[in-house]
Amino acid sequence: MTDKDLYGGLIRLHILHHAAEEPIFGLGIIEELRHHGYEISAGTLYPMLHGLEKKGYLTSRHERTGRRDRRVYEITEQGRVALTDAGAKLLLHARTIEAGFAAAERDVAGS
């Protein structure tokens, strides 16, 4: 498993999170993800966006901005439900992992 495989799900959740706040577009979400430490190319992002749309988590429309057309994505109700469910599971897993780290630190300190 590569780091990209590991982080792909987290990136998708992050995309849904931002789409729940406001409509998103490719370059904007690439820049937002970069602020959170994810370096992602358009060649990686757009298949993710298309996949989230195909699963019914996002919808898209074309929007004209100046002389350019861009595709804008919005979260669907199905996407909101998936984000809420995944967020709860992520929190549970994070707590479990944190407890494992704390136990390992105690073991090391007790050695």
Flag residues of the chain having pLDDT under 70: 1-4, 111
> Model's pTM, two decimal places?
0.81
User: Using the 8-state DSSP alphabet, how is residue 59 labeled?
Assistant: E
Are 49 and 73 contacting, i.e. CB atoms less than 8 angstroms apart?
yes
Q: Tell me which amino acid residue 42 is.
A: A
Reported as a single tens digit per residue, the pLDDT across 32-64 is: 999 998 899 999 999 999 999 999 999 999 998
CA-nearest of 93, 89, 85, 12 to 53 is 12
Are 56 and 83 contacting, i.e. CB atoms less than 8 angstroms apart?
no
The encoded tokens of residue 58 equal: 């996002």
